[in-house]
Amino acid sequence: MPTVTLKVTRWLCPNVPAESPHSPGIRLAIPDGESLRGLVRRLAAEQEGVWKTLFDEQAQEIGAHVLVVLNGCLATPHERSAALLKDGDEVMFLPVFDGG
């Protein structure tokens, strides 16, 4: 079964398991062929208290307030919905910041 690494700030998900600043992230086994959106939808449904803030139930998409970085690159709107995850991928969720 493929395994991905999730990184998320406590700002987005205050109930995410505690990590040290040097932690490699949360390792998670995923089904073959799972999409990025599918992963977030599943996590939000299974562990609502931890991941609910990442998924917009009404739009059935990753929330617009969330930046997604897949393997070090900012995910495009298409990738946020359709990218298929593979073994070893790293997914980082960051809050959208505005200002200057």
Tens of pLDDT along the chain (100 residues) come to: 899 999 887 777 776 665 545 566 889 999 999 999 999 999 888 887 778 888 888 999 999 989 999 999 999 989 998 999 999 999 999 888 766 6
pLDDT of residue 17: 63
Whole-number Cα distances in Å, 43 to 68, 85, 88, 98: 15, 14, 18, 27
Assign 70 to helix, strand or coil. strand
CATH number for the domain formed by residue range(s) 3-95: 3.10.20.30
Specify the pTM: 0.84
